[in-house]
Structure 1
Amino acid sequence: MLGADGMIPWVAMILSILVFGLGFSILYLLLFNLPTRQSVHDLATGAFVVKAPAPVPLPAPLRRVHKFVIAVAIALSLVLPLGGLWLASRITSLAPLLRAGRTLDAQSHVVSASVNEGASWSSFNGSAMHKTTMLNASVVMQRWPADPKATAASFASTLFQDIPDAGTRDVVSVQLVYGYDIGIARAWRSTNYSYAPAAWMRLESAQSIAR
């Protein structure tokens, strides 16, 4: 799934540092930082573990090679997600998806959006395989819209404007999502609208006339 949000690079960096940078650093220090085996949180607080009957030793300074390995791990965790986004933006087939995602994200009532494309194959009663091409947008809303279908039609219009070949897809889907997740409690509401491009065009035309 390709997301395009002004805050996504920052989110990607933070998650990458936590999962890969700090995760690798913790595991590496536990395995190789002898004799104290101080990990990242131990070094941050100046703590170390000793056996109760033993005299308390002075903590050994972190060796230079360990500092170098941790620095490289954190640097890579910063560079790789941004490099992936940069590379995706340079791939011609992905650029329209990123552009459409950025346009959706820029709307004031949108928290985040992602746009992706794909295909499925199906066969009925032994007939030849039939390919269905799809274009999908998932939009997280700040509030649930009064007219979800009209909102979805507006987002679909953005897809057709920003993705030149969107009209050639068999199905274009727009999913509206609203809710929260605070760890101890979560609640999500979502609705998906899937139509052929021509049906989206008719829906948008009817709403334009109504307005």
Structure 2
Amino acid sequence: MDQQPDYSKYSEQELRQVRKHIDADRYPERVAEIEARLTALAAVPRDTTSVDEDLSPVTSARLWRRAVAFVLDFALLGIVGAIAGACLYEPLTVLGPWGRVLGFAIATAYFGVSQSHVGDGQSLGMKVLGLRVVTASGTPLSVGASLLRAGIFCLSYFLGSLPSAFSGLNAWVASALSMLIFGVGACSTYLLIFNRKTRQTLHDLAVGAFVVNDARGPLALPTERVWRGHAAIVTAALVAFCVAGVWMALPGSLGDMLRVRQAVMSLPGVSNASVMLNYGPQNARTLSVTAVTDASAQNPEALARRVAKAALENYANVDQMKTVTVTLSSGFDIGIAQVWRSVNYVRTPREWRAR
């Protein structure tokens, strides 16, 4: 539920700014209160000694300030993650790819609550940099709106690889979903850099939020609308990311790697996997398969052979590889912290088949 603003504390400039942006159909009683307040202020003799004009206006924050605030916030989350990893290592290793979901929940809760009216619109990084998240009327976001904004902000980094972690999901669908989630992050970055009119990015626009300098002067938010070309570019980019995801799953190098990954993840004792194609001297190629193991993996050497077999059966040109490297890793990755313990097995395709 929206918090009722106390307009008696607003200056005349702030009231006029709010009146310009407010949804009159949704908040007719607020419009009436604002107009009554403006009328009352107009009847009061002007105080020529007022220092309101000398105060710095509340304007949209610059890109570098937002970036530094984020770095500070993520450093704090990293400290929390490191402490959690030291105290809860064993439980976290059981999560496998779901560890990223835990990290997503922690980060979303941190940003969502601190940047709502509960934290007066400021996370720790924003407090240090003198920034604040507000609505068009200058008030802090509700907790629900702020959590939605934070969820969109954290989505790409934490959950981009999650769809492909489901071995039963169609490879085309998993790849398209992963690329779409990645595209959300890419489009947010694009808007952050190029939307110079309102300085809003994707998660800001979703809830009508602005990141402003924490000043005491009159509200001076941008009055211009976002350029329509940005909407067209973002829409086209998201469609392109989905198409790229489908293309990556087609038969060929990338499609084969996706199939190897899903085959490895279906093995008992494996909770997650990744596949890479590396190039060495004289264009020598190496297929590298990393399998994240759980507590049920009792025989590492036998599991390494099963992982290599999955690679040999699902990668069409595997015999052209100089070596196939299998890495068995145990540990956790929750996005804000990760710890891995690994062992490598490096053999040629022929050597793997001989075992």
**TM-score, normalising length from structure 1?**
0.66
C-alpha distance in 2, partners of 1:25/1:108?
Answer: 43
1:17 and 2:184 correspond:
yes
Q: How far has the Cα of 1:77 moved from its partner? A: 4.3
Answer whether contact 2:260 2:310 (CA < 8 A) is retained.
yes
The answer to whether the 8 A contact 1:110-1:142 is kept is yes
8 Å Cα contact 1:25-1:73 kept in structure 2: no
Question: Is 1:92 matched up with 2:256?
Answer: no
Of 32, 46, 52 in structure 1, the residue corresponding to residue 216 of structure 2 is 52
Q: Which residue of 2 aligns with 1:163?
A: 315
Residue 151 of structure 1 deviates from its aligned partner by: 0.6
Q: Which has the higher strand share?
A: 1
1:89-143 deviation digits (Å, cap 9, x = unpaired): 335344333322222233464333232334422xxxxxxxx66442221222344
Partner of 2:289: 137
Separation in structure 2 between the aligned mates of residue 140 and residue 59 of structure 1, nearest angstrom: 49
Show the counterpart of 2:300: 148
Q: Distance in 2 between matches of 1:190 and 1:48?
A: 42
What amino acid does structure 2 have at the position aligned with 1:52? Answer: R
- The structure having more radius of gyration, on CA atoms, is 2
The residue type equivalent to 1:26 in the other structure is: L
Identity %: 24
- Cα distance between partner residues in 2 of 1:131 and 1:193: 21
1:101, 1:115 within 8 Å by CA — same for their partners in 2? yes
SS at 2:324 equivalent: strand
Give 3-state SS (helix, strand or coil) of 1:146's partner. Answer: coil
Output the amino acid matched with 2:197. Answer: F
Q: Does 1:26 align with 2:186?
A: no
Deviation at 1:17, TM superposition (A): 0.9
Q: Please identify, of 184-193 and 111-120, the stretch whose mean Cα deviation from structure 2 is larger.
A: 111-120
* CA root-mean-square deviation: 3.4
1:186 alignment counterpart: 338
Residues 1:113 and 2:270 are matched in the alignment: no
State the SS of the aligned residue for 1:79. helix
* Alignment-derived partner of residue 65 in structure 2: none
Alpha carbons of structure 1 residues 156 and 183: separation in structure 2 relative to 1, 3 Å: closer
Q: Contact 1:179/1:186 (CA < 8 Å) preserved in 2? A: yes
Q: CA deviation at 1:53?
A: 4.2
Shift of 1:154: 0.3
In structure 2, distance between residues paired with 1:70 and 1:90 = 31
The residue that corresponds to 1:74 in the other structure is 234
**Given the superposition, is the C-alpha separation of residues 112 and 75 from structure 1 closer, same or farther in structure 2, using an over 3 Å criterion?**
farther
Query: Post-superposition shift, 1:153?
Result: 0.5
User: Structure 1's 32 and 192: CA in aligned 2 closer, same or farther, altered over 3 A?
Assistant: same
SS in 1 for 2:249: helix
Q: CA deviation at 1:162?
A: 1.7
Return 133-142 or 172-181, whichever deviates more.
133-142
- The 2-side partners of 1:42 and 1:92 are apart by 39
Structure 1 unaligned regions, length at least 5: 122-129, 204-211
